[in-house]
Amino acid sequence: MELFTGSVRRICAQALTTGVLCIGLVGAATAQQLDVAEAENLVRSVYFESFPEDDARRIGAAGAARLIEMLDDATESGAHANILLALGLCGQPRSLEAIRDWARTARSGEISRDTFRAWQALPFAIGYLVDHNAKAVALLEERLKAAPPNWTFRHHRTNRLRAQARKGAATALGMSRHPAARRALHRALKRTRNPEFRDVLTHAQSISSEVRR
């Protein structure tokens, strides 16, 4: 009986060890960086629910470099929204500069649907980047103070666009929950006399104070 019990214990120990090793191997495989082709495929795909954030965080330096090239290519505008989000999530070197340059690109007249989609994604891309580089907070604060854009998209124009930009920036600052972002929201609250914008900033502050799960 004692011999049988000892055998069972050895088998269980071996099974447990094997299971731990398997979990480790699965975890290592999951954590592998995406190569350039995988990074391209990620941003070119269409997502009907949400952008795959965990996959984007696995983009390595080579993949990010390729995405930055695509972001500078007008013929790739259909992927620009996803590229901005991916660069913010992966936080690879030059991501901040690439996103900043796209944000500051001068535009006028009626812009395309693809460019408008990317513009809508921009504050959230910057908000993701705050986790990697606190300097990204300054880009969001710029958007809180920016004048209305010179371009239009259908019925979106001037003050309506400015309100959308400020709301997106405030929300992204709140979601980052970074101390520098909280200070930026506090400064904006002290500065504004617009009651609607105050409500936006107050809501963003409430998001920032929530415990990140």
Ranges of each domain in the chain: 35-209
Is 203 exposed, middle or buried, given 0-12, 13-18 or 19+ CB atoms closer than 10 A? middle
Instruction: For CA atoms 33, 38, 43, 49, give the dihedral sign.
Output: negative
pLDDT at 14: 52
Cα 80 versus chain centre, distance: 13
pLDDT at 31: 65
Pick the closest to residue 169 from 179, 181, 180 (CA basis): 181
54 CB-side CA count, 13 A = 3
pLDDT at 20: 39
Go through the chain and tell me how many residues it has.
213
Q: Strands, DSSP E only, in 66-194?
A: 109-110, 151-152
pLDDT at 23: 38
pLDDT at 59: 98
pLDDT at 29: 40
What confidence tens digit (pLDDT) does each residue in 89-129 have? 999 999 999 999 999 999 999 999 999 999 999 999 999 99
Pick the closest to residue 127 from 89, 97, 183, 77 (CA basis): 89
Pairwise CA distance, residues 171 & 186, whole Å:
13
Q: Which fold has domain 35-209?
A: Leucine-rich Repeat Variant (1.25.10)
Pick the closest to residue 84 from 60, 118, 110 (CA basis): 118
End-to-end CA distance of the chain: 49
Q: Mapping DSSP to helix (H, G, I), strand (E, B) and coil, where does residue 152 land? A: strand
Ranges of residues in the chain with a pLDDT under 50 are 1-9, 11-13, 15-30, 211, 213
pLDDT at 210: 78
